[in-house]
Structure 1
Amino acid sequence: MRIMAFDYGTKRIGIAVTDPMQLIATSLTTIHPEEIWTFLTDYLREEKIETFVVGKPLQMDGTASQSAQHIVGFMRKLKKVYPSIPVVEVDERFTSKMATRVIAQSGAKRNKRQEKNLVDTVSATIILQTYMDSKTFL
């Protein structure tokens, strides 16, 4: 079974998944929030998901950021629509900056580095990898 992670935004949702053995986190896609439920329905017909991981936007002092209210609504609906799949939050501070740096280090051209879709999927991958790393120490 796979683990799926979301970098949730009001304009785009970056999505990443693990391989079935949960060894590697991979960028999957970026979609508009209105399309997420159709996307998940279709995806879950083909693949089994063990856990949903959602990036939790926090401020530097650890308090919830302004965008946190949108994530709470998204997580609530995830739990309602897919009650058998646990939903876990992971601190997503700095993931966008880290994603931009990773993309730059990969040798991508400047215009490619600034593509928000790419940044969102790489951010989701970092969120997923953070979660996977935390599980190995439990």
Structure 2
Amino acid sequence: AVHKVVTTTPKAELFGAVVEKFDMVCIASKCTTECQACSQCTYAIEQMSALAQGEPTSGLCSKLETCVQSCLESGDLKKILKCVADRCNVHCYDGDCPSCRGMAKRMFVIICQQTDMVNLSHIQYSGTCPRLFNELADDYVAARRRVAA
């Protein structure tokens, strides 16, 4: 599914389309030894678990955690997931939560490398996958802020 998104989505919409496919619950449930050794990954998983159980979080990602908490109040899983994608994801990339951005960057770079994203005809990026992530993440935040304003 992600490969199709990468190969068919226009560059301007690519970042949102890819990162909104990340299923953090799935990633957390399949967390490997490598993930457990990564402090960013471990923190993200602990926060997801606390939020899901209604427990307090450490508050290191206050905007993201507050937003997710308000989405959880809707109760219905489909509504919660849509709310998080529409309203909260931006806080993963806007500087509020470096651990979330770091974890997303790791996943994006792997997808970028596996799909040779920088060389795709509709992407044509002369830099590296990590630099592409940074540029697209910043553009994504700027676009989301314009929509919210």
Determine if the TM-score, normalized by the shorter chain, exceeds 0.5.
no
Task: Compute the TM-score of the two structures, normalised by the length of structure 1.
Answer: 0.29
* Larger Cα-atom Rg: 2
Greater share of residues in helix: 2
Compare relative contact order (CA 8 Å, sep 6+) and give the higher one, 1 or 2. 1
